[in-house]
Structures are given as structure tokens and as C-alpha cells.
């Protein structure tokens, strides 16, 4: 697909479903003010899923770079970096925006550095105690921080992490987590009817697995733990939306297909997925974003990982970290099912992951940055966008 235009002020890159969802509020705010000066690029990491994810919200990419299924992780990143560098050189943006800790985000950071263009990193400062776990996400986010000129941190702890690594405090902006923007908007609608998606049981849990760290035998352990849990809880069903990664999906199918109380689904759009999480009695996951959404839904989360970069949920008592041993997963799930549901967080300034206004804060800071580079007229904010200082 050719470039829709030769130049832009801001280039935003997305390559996975979570990136799309966490960029919606920022893209909407920036395009509402700057229009065609915002170039949205589909990196091709999960090409079709990016198109589908953005389409839910009426967003179209200006450029799609094609698939980068190159076998090894290093080859995929090299391919992404090269393709993105070519787009940066052609579009000459003043600022490049990347989100999270994916191969796309890391390759975008490398391409920005190659071209001498400032990088704005959304969801900056998330850290675990181990520099290589989870792999490769922890490596990516630490390396992205070295390249970024604007760091949009979701929590006070993320700010502290960045300062501890020597990042200039003046480049760090506490904005909250952008997925809460989308959750706040979508959760205000009537919940999606999920009656055709769930098993005929009195209650159900949601299972999502996709992390590279859980591939292979560890994923086998988790699936056996799910079977053990179902044996212990005869009134419980499991709903598992499958990840696009074929390796993870095939192994889950091998263990769980055919069980009368397990429903395996293709990836869901955001509204039905949130309705599923809200209706579920428990979430068993290795996802990062779900750990942020669940506290606002009042649904407990069993995090099947060695560590987490989102300790706020654990401090709240909503998330529980568990190893991937079969017995541990079943036993801890049974314990959580025996407890009352957590009280949902309000969308306010005291909430752990933000109040749902992160995209507006990011947009305000980005506009300030652009004005400092060149003369940029102050936009008309009659559409409801407010400067960050006006928010609670």
C-alpha cells in the first residue's frame, strides 16, 4: 500500500491487538486535533488482527507493511526495523509513538533511533525484578527506555522505575494506563450479550494464554491444571478465547478440545471480551492488560507467571501470582473461587491504573512538544478535549 501522503507530524505504529486497544484513545484525540498530520502504521506483526482491532472503533491504518513472519525473533525484529525505517525516512515525522513491549514497539524504537527522530513511549516504566523475565518483553521495555525522548508512564511505580534507571525526570509524564480509557468508554454501554459464548454451567472462568515464557511444557502444565480444576469444581465451566499464535492455540486445543465444560473461541472483539471478563467468576491468564482491566470489573485474576510488571493489582488483592505447576493452579483457583468478588475500582484519580483520561493527557503533552519544535497553532478544543491540567 503506498503512503497516503508524503509527510506527517506524528507517526504511530501498532502491530498487535493489545497495542491497538491501548492506542485507540490517543489516536482518536490526536487525529481529532491534527487530522492528516497523524500517520498510523500497521507494522505487519499481526497484520489482520491489527486491521480487525482498529475497525471496531472506526479507525483505519494509513500504511500496512505486510507480514513479518520471519521465523526467529531476531530476524522478525530486523525485518520490522528495516521496513519501519523506510517509512520514517519517507514520512519525516517530528515524533514517533510506540506502545508497550512487543517486537513492533522495540523495532519502532530502533527505527526512530536510526533516523534521529524522537520516540514517545506509551506504557513506559513497567518492570519486573528480573532483567530478562519475561522474555523478550522485559528486555524490550528496558531497551526502549534508552531510546525514548518522551516517557508516558501509567503508574507512580513506573515513574519511579524510570528515574531509578537514570531517565531525565523532565521527560517522564504520569498519565495512567490507556486501556482504562477504552474500558471506561465501552463499559458505559449495555454489556454485550455473551449467552452464546459461555458453557451451560452455573458459573465460569476465563482462560487466556499466549506468553512466550509459557510455551511448551509450561503451557501443558497450565492446561492440566485447568482439567484438575474442572474435576474439583463440577459446576464450573471454562471459556478460552484463543490467541492468534498458532503454537499456543494448537497446544491448548490438544488438551482442552472435547471437554464438555470448555468453550474454545476465536479471538473476540473488545466489547464481547470485556463482557466475558465482567461476567466471569475468575480469570486465569498470563496477560498483562487483563491485570489492569480486572480491578475495574471486580473479577479476581490468577496470574500464571513467574513474575509480573503490574504489582498494583497484587497489592489491591485482585491479582494473585501463581507458578505453572498443575497442582498450584488448581488449588489456588479453588481458593479464589471460595472468596467474595473484589469491589470494582471507580474510574477516578485514586484508581491504581488511572481514571480513563490518559489519551487526553498524552495528546496535550505531544502538542506541547510539537509547539516547542515549530510554530503550531493552538487547536480548537470545543470538541471536549481538555488540557491535562483541567483533569482531576
Q: What is the pLDDT of residue 140?
A: 96
- Grid cell for residue 55: 475497525
In this prediction, residue 378 has a pLDDT band, given cuts at 50, 70 and 90, of very low
In sign, the C-alpha dihedral spanning 268, 270, 271, 276 is positive
The backbone torsions φ and ψ at residue 359, rounded to the nearest 5 degrees and listed phi first, read: -60, -35
Q: What is the pLDDT of residue 68?
A: 61
Dist. CA 47–CA 77, nearest whole Å: 15
**Per-residue pLDDT tens digits for 2-34:** 444 557 899 999 999 999 999 999 999 999 999
**Least reliable range by pLDDT among 7-21, 78-92, 209-223:** 209-223
Closest by CA to 331, choosing from 318, 342, 320, 347, is 320
Q: What is the pLDDT of residue 297?
A: 96
Domains of the chain, each with CATH number or no CATH: 10-176+356-390 (3.40.50.2000), 203-337 (3.40.50.2000)
pLDDT at 179 over 50: yes
Share of the chain above pLDDT 70, in %: 90
**Taking residues 62-73, what's their average pLDDT?**
79
Q: What is the pLDDT of residue 389?
A: 37
Q: What is the pLDDT of residue 388?
A: 36
Question: Length of the chain in residues, anyone?
Answer: 392
Q: What is the pLDDT of residue 11?
A: 98
Percent of the chain that is helix, strand, coil (3-state, to 5): 45, 15, 40
Q: What is the pLDDT of residue 324?
A: 72
pLDDT at 250 over 60: yes
Dist. CA 218–CA 98, nearest whole Å: 30
In this prediction, residue 70 has a pLDDT band, given cuts at 50, 70 and 90, of low
Q: What is the pLDDT of residue 1?
A: 41
**Least reliable range by pLDDT among 135-139, 178-182, 291-295:** 135-139
Question: Is the separation of the CB atoms in 153 and 120 below 8 Å?
Answer: no
Q: What is the pLDDT of residue 4?
A: 47
What is the pTM (predicted TM-score) of this model?
0.90
Q: What is the pLDDT of residue 156?
A: 97
In this prediction, residue 170 has a pLDDT band, given cuts at 50, 70 and 90, of very high
Contacts of 297 (CB under 8 A, 6+ apart): 187, 274, 277, 278, 344
Q: What is the DSSP string of 244-261?
A: S-HHHHHHHHHHHTT-TT
Amino acid at each position: 500500500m503506498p503512503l497516503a501522503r508524503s509527510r506527517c507530524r506524528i507517526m504511530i505504529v501498532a502491530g498487535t491487538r493489545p497495542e491497538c486497544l491501548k492506542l485507540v484513545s490517543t489516536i482518536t484525540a490526536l487525529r481529532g486535533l491534527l487530522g492528516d498530520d497523524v500517520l498510523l502504521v500497521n507494522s505487519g506483526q499481526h497484520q489482520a488482527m491489527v486491521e480487525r482491532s482498529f475497525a471496531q472503533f472506526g479507525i483505519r491504518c494509513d500504511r500496512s507493511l505486510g507480514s513479518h513472519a520471519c521465523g526467529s525473533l531476531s530476524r522478525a525484529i530486523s525485518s520490522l526495523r528495516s521496513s519501519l525505517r523506510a517509512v520514517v525516512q519517507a514520512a519525516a515525522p517530528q515524533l514517533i509513538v510506540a506502545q508497550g513491549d512487543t517486537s513492533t514497539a522495540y523495532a519502532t524504537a530502533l527505527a526512530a533511533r536510526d533516523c534521529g527522530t524522537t520516540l514517545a513511549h506509551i506504557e513506559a516504566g513497567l518492570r519486573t525484578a528480573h532483567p530478562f523475565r519475561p522474555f523478550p518483553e522485559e528486555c524490550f521495555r528496558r531497551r526502549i527506555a534508552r531510546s525514548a525522548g518522551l516517557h508516558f508512564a501509567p503508574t507512580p511505580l513506573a515513574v519511579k522505575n524510570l528515574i531509578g534507571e537514570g531517565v531525565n525526570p523532565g521527560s517522564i509524564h504520569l498519565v495512567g494506563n490507556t486501556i482504562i480509557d477504552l474500558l471506561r468508554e465501552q463499559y458505559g454501554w449495555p454489556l454485550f450479550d455473551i449467552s452464546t459464548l459461555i458453557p451451560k454451567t452455573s458459573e465460569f472462568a476465563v482462560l487466556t494464554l499466549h506468553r512466550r515464557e509459557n510455551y511448551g511444557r509450561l503451557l501443558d502444565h497450565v492446561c492440566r491444571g485447568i482439567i484438575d480444576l474442572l474435576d474439583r469444581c463440577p459446576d464450573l465451566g471454562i471459556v478460552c478465547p484463543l490467541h492468534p499464535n498458532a503454537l499456543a492455540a494448537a497446544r491448548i486445543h490438544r488438551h482442552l478440545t472435547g471437554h464438555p465444560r470448555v468453550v474454545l473461541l476465536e479471538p473476540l472483539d473488545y466489547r464481547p471480551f470485556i463482557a466475558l471478563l465482567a461476567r466471569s467468576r475468575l480469570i486465569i491468564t498470563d496477560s498483562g492488560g487483563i491485570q489492569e482491566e480486572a480491578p475495574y470489573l471486580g473479577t479476581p485474576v490468577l496470574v500464571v507467571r513467574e513474575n509480573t510488571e503490574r504489582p498494583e493489582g497484587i497489592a489491591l488483592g485482585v491479582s494473585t501470582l501463581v507458578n505453572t505447576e498443575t497442582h498450584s493452579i488448581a488449588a489456588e483457583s479453588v481458593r479464589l473461587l471460595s472468596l467474595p468478588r473484589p469491589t470494582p475500582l471507580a474510574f477516578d484519580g485514586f484508581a491504581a491504573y488511572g481514571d480513563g483520561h490518559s489519551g487526553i493527557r498524552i495528546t496535550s503533552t505531544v502538542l506541547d512538544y510539537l509547539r516547542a519544535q515549530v510554530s503550531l497553532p493552538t487547536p480548537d478544543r470545543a470538541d471536549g478535549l481538555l488540557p491535562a491540567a483541567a483533569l482531576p
